[in-house]
Amino acid sequence: MRYSRSRNPLSKNDTGSTWILLSTRSTPSIRFTRVDPPAGAAVWERHDLSARGKGQALGWALARLHACERRPEAVLVVDADCVASPNLCAVVAEELADPGVRAIQVRYDVSNPEESPTAALRAAGFILKHVIRSRGRARLGLSCGLFGSGMAFRTSLFDEVQWPTSVTEDTELHLELIQRGVVVRYAERAAVRSAMPTTAAAAVEQQLRWESGNAELAGAHLLGLVRHGAATGDVQLLAAAAELLAPSQSMLAAGSLGLGGLSALLGWRRTTALAGATLAGQATYVLGGLLAAGAPVASLRALAHAPGFAVSRLRILGRVASGRRAESWVRTTRPS
């Protein structure tokens, strides 16, 4: 578990477990408050300015855990800026009672959608990707993916793999697990919640890191996933490849609008009708998905700001395509 400030995101959860609070002082400008750990917890401090980032810190902690005389059967990773549902530990334990389960991802929500349209749109995106899409993948028997927080693993997994150190280490780890036949189970009964950036500038930093990491992973893994999946008939590999290629809702909408407008100008009626039908279907999916998942009203209202968000997203993709990518993990500026 990564721990960066004096907050205890698991204070209402089972204290019978051993919690490792990992303080990673990889950024000189961040000061950490020393606090007494809760009962049953240990604090591991890491000082390494040459290997900054969440992935590096978690890799260090897992290596240290591996060397312990009595290793736990499982590890649960929760970011320090997240708040966990009171049943998190119980749900993870119940899921791991199935010997076939080796990795788990719980629901990951945004905690501050009311604070700004930027946070509300991020909340809508989380719901569609982390909840609606994960429900569908789970019902199809597919791996749901890893979201960066609220992840649990059997410790024995890390005898086979190391925690990645890329800027999107959670997605990279999922690809590694999928290629080893490990399916991540979605456990929606428990959840973690985190505040998202409330300003467009802070959101751009976070989105640039995500898009940069996804572009690198697609370049490194996409062809291999498709080739191996097609050769073996492994739908998990093909689904993971499709996930790397899947555009965001904002990009789909921008593409349909652009195609529809161009087709209308050129008099291509069938293409114009197809673009209109695509937009209508997408609107039904977005609104229906948000309502089905119980999205906050703020997220529904924030859809009016989606065009501006799409423009910002296109600029970020342009930066990534031109090679101006995020090279390292930087902590996103969030509300305190």
Tell me the domain boundaries of the chain: 2-244
What pLDDT sits at residue 41?
66
Question: Torsion angle of alpha carbons 178, 180, 186, 192, nearest 10°?
Answer: -90
Per-residue pLDDT of the chain (336 residues; tens, 9 = 90+): 433 333 445 545 554 555 666 655 544 433 334 445 555 567 787 877 777 778 888 888 898 888 888 888 999 999 988 999 999 999 999 999 999 999 999 999 999 999 999 999 999 999 999 999 999 999 999 999 999 999 999 999 999 999 998 878 999 999 999 999 999 999 999 999 999 988 888 777 777 777 887 888 888 899 999 999 999 999 999 999 999 988 888 888 888 999 999 999 999 999 999 999 999 999 999 999 999 999 999 999 999 988 888 888 888 878 877 777 665 555 666 665
Distance in angstroms (rounded) separating the CA atoms of residues 84 and 192:
4
Separate counts of helices (H) and strands (E) for the chain: 11, 8
What pLDDT sits at residue 6?
36
Enter the DSSP assignment of 30. Answer: -
What pLDDT sits at residue 229?
97
Which residue, 50, 62, 106, is CA-closest to 83?
106
Distance in angstroms (rounded) separating the CA atoms of residues 294 and 288:
10
Q: How many CA atoms lie within 13 A of 323 on its CB side?
A: 0
Enter the DSSP assignment of 68. Answer: S
What pLDDT sits at residue 330?
58
Angle between helices 269-292 and 249-266 (to 10 degrees): 160
Contact 26, 48 (CB under 8 A): yes
Distance in angstroms (rounded) separating the CA atoms of residues 198 and 116:
5
Distance in angstroms (rounded) separating the CA atoms of residues 114 and 101:
36
Characterize 127-151 residue by residue with b for buried, 16 or more Cβ atoms within 10 angstroms of its Cβ, and e for exposed: bbbbbbbbbebbeeebbbbbbbbbb
- Phi/psi region, residue 39 (left: phi>0; alpha: psi -120 to 50; beta: rest), is beta
pTM for the full predicted model: 0.83
Give how far the C-alpha of residue 252 lies from the chain's centroid of Cα atoms, to the nearest Å: 20
The two beta strands, 103-110 and 184-194, are: parallel
Q: Which residue has the tokens 């604070």?
A: 115
Q: Greatest CA separation found in the chain? A: 73
CATH number among 1.10.10, 2.60.120, 3.30.70, 3.90.550, domain 2-244? 3.90.550
In the chain, alpha helices (H): 54-66, 88-96, 117-126, 134-139, 169-179, 200-232, 235-245, 249-266, 269-292, 297-302, 306-321
